[in-house]
Amino acid sequence: MERKAGMASPVERFVCPGKGNGLRATARIRRGQLVTSAEPLGCCVSNKRTREVCHHCFTRQETLLRCSQCKMARYCNTACQKQAWSGHKRECKCLRSLLPRRPTDSVRLAARLIFALLSPPKSTSSELFTLEEHESHLNSMSEQKKQGLAQLASMLELYVQQEASDLAQEMTSALPPSCQDPLSLIAKVTCNCFTISDGELQEVGVGLYPSLSLLNHDCRPNCVMVFEGTRLQLRAVRDIGPKEELTISYIETLSLTEERQRQLEEQYHFVCRCQRCDSKKEEGLMLSGEEEKWRQLKEALPRLEGLKTESNWQVLLESCSSLLSAAGGDVPDENLYRLRVTDMALDAAVHQGQWEEALRYGMKTLPAYRLYYPDPHPVHGVQLMRVGKLQHYMEHVEDALDTFKEAFIIMKITHGEDHPLTTDLKIKMEECRQEIDTQLSCR
């Protein structure tokens, strides 16, 4: 848990009734304040992003250098590749031993944690929580879930077999007892890892941040997490008083209560009893419209997600357009499933370079985003920024400036004014102002 030298930490570990460990404020925390930031104990790029994200700095690049030995790791340039080698060399050996098979994200992350624990970095930062203190949650898992984890544990053993045989004595003496059991380690990873996202909040990898894993879940949290590369930043989105618990959302909150609770129970093994889950006041609006029509949208989502994963943007755009036209006015823009299809249509139109159509879809999402993200929320801010960029490109400069201003109000709280994305937003706002001034001077 890092902080400036000489400054007391604004948070402390405590036992939260009914939840186990948690984090709470030791002093008043202001809305928009950076509570803390941390680098991961271990992290890896997601399998589905290996070709487009640098395995060292986690930035997207159109062209990346590929590791000539394992054929999987990719880097921005030779500088990134050299800096990554100390952490990649053991992984590289393991990847080569499995070619052409590719281990899952959980297995790769667990192996990286083993290697990280064998070579702990020299650091002056204090940790409120360590990996070995994490519960594995094995006792609360269903037999089906345990069997799935057992398969991953077997894959982990196979994956690190070569390195483990070379380092068996070192591993036994250096690793905490709770981390020597592959099944326990896999369980810890799957329950406590964070999804690492890029500037547009798209998943690029996974990582484990032990102390920040103390944070408990709420579907209307008082803190949010954003990333700068692999560094996790925790920011308050409302004022937090002394001794008040800090919370985050473990999942995407734009979903029905039943869906959120099912995901939390399946992945994290608890039932959420937060105020939002108890009230369910948004359910009627999310399911508004003619049920027969919105069910068609809901049932099409898995197929559309598959097209998106395959980057089949043309077919995805045609499918979304057809579905939305068929739903017509019988399903309003605020309907959850119409919103999800509209969002995918926006993504597809952008990738197809159909800017006018992309802007049309983007504008349709904004009223629903304002409804479902009423607090300062990074997802809402990023969506506004995307729409603003489309407006700017289409030379709707005054509209773009207004949209950028709305995004900035949110993102200076959720990201902070020094975050690269907020800096980019300020540059876009200044460009719009200069263009408006030029237009006025020419009249």
Of the residues 233, 255, 281, which one is the last residue of a structural domain?
281
Helix (H) / strand (E) containing 216: strand 216-217
Contacts for 130 with CB less than 8 Å, ≥ 6 apart: 176, 210
Q: Residue 143: is its pLDDT beyond 80? A: no
Q: What percent of the chain has pLDDT over 90?
A: 60
* pLDDT tens per residue, range 117-135: 776 655 544 566 555 565 6
Q: 174, exposed or middle or buried, with CB in 10 Å at 0-12, 13-18, 19+?
A: middle
- Region 344-368 average pLDDT: 97
Least Cα distance to 308 among 347, 271, 253 occurs for 347
CB 191 within 8 A of CB 268: yes
**Whole-number Å distance between alpha carbons of 33 and 421:** 17
One domain, residues 182 and 301: no
Tell me 219's DSSP state.
Answer: S
- Whether residues 231 and 151 fall in one domain: no
Helix ranges (H only) for 255-309 are 257-268, 275-279, 283-286, 291-309
pLDDT digits 0-9 by tens, 96-120: 888 788 888 888 888 888 877 776 6
Report which of 116, 149, 148 is spatially closest to residue 131, judged by C-alpha positions. 116
Examine the pLDDT at 295 and tell me if it is beyond 50.
yes
* Rounded distance between C-alpha atoms, residue 1 and residue 394, angstroms: 44
Contact (Cβ atoms closer than 8 angstroms) between residue 38 and residue 2: yes
Vertex 314: Cα angle to 313 and 318 (nearest 5): 115
Same domain, 72 and 32: no
Decide if 2 contacts 211 (C-beta within 8 A). Answer: no
- Residue 196 forms beta bridges with which residues? 205
Question: pLDDT (tens digit, 9 = 90+) per residue, 248-294?
Answer: 999 988 999 999 999 998 888 889 989 999 888 889 999 999 999 99
Each residue's pLDDT tens digit, 408-417: 999 999 999 9
**Domain check: are 350 and 292 in the same one?**
yes
Q: Is the pLDDT of residue 145 over 80?
A: no
Model confidence over 63-88: pLDDT tens digits?
A: 999 999 999 999 999 999 999 998 89
Same domain, 271 and 308: no
The Cα–Cα gap between 254 and 262 comes to 14
Residue 137 has pLDDT above 70, yes or no: no
> Over 50: is that where the pLDDT of 4 sits?
no
Average pLDDT in the chain: 87
pTM: 0.87
Task: Decide which of 281, 302, 322 is a domain's last residue.
Answer: 281
> Based on the domain organization, do 100 and 182 belong to the same domain?
yes
Report the pLDDT value the prediction gives residue 8, as an integer from 0 to 100. 61
Asked if residues 113 and 134 have their Cβ atoms less than 8 Å apart, the reply is no
Strand duo 34-38 + 231-236: pairing: antiparallel
DSSP-derived 3-state class of residue 132:
helix
> Dihedrals φ, ψ of 171, to 5°?
-65, -40
For residue 387, pLDDT over 80 is answered with yes
| 134 & 235 share domain | no
Q: Are residues 152 and 60 in the same domain?
A: yes
Domain that holds residue 382: 288-441
Assigned domain for 6 exists: no
User: Could you tell me which residues are beta bridge partners of residue 21?
Assistant: 15
Q: What is the DSSP letter of 22?
A: E
Number of domains in the chain: 3
336: domain CATH number is 1.25.40.10
Tokens of 120: 């702990």
Residue 168 has pLDDT above 50, yes or no: no
State mean pLDDT over 395-400.
Answer: 97
Token output for 254: 């734009």
Considering the domain architecture, whether residues 422 and 349 belong to the same structural domain is answered as yes
CATH code where residue 258 lies: 2.170.270.10
Q: Are residues 213 and 338 in the same domain?
A: no
Q: Which letter does DSSP use for residue 282 in this model?
A: T
208-261 per-position pLDDT tens digit: 898 898 899 999 999 999 999 999 999 999 999 999 999 999 998 899 999 999
Q: Tell me: the pLDDT tens digits for 317-343?
A: 999 999 999 999 999 999 999 999 999
Q: Decide which of 266, 281, 296 is a domain's last residue.
A: 281
pLDDT of residue 440: 87
- Specify the range with the lowest mean pLDDT, choosing from 162-176, 182-196, 362-376: 162-176
CATH number at residue 166: 1.10.220.160
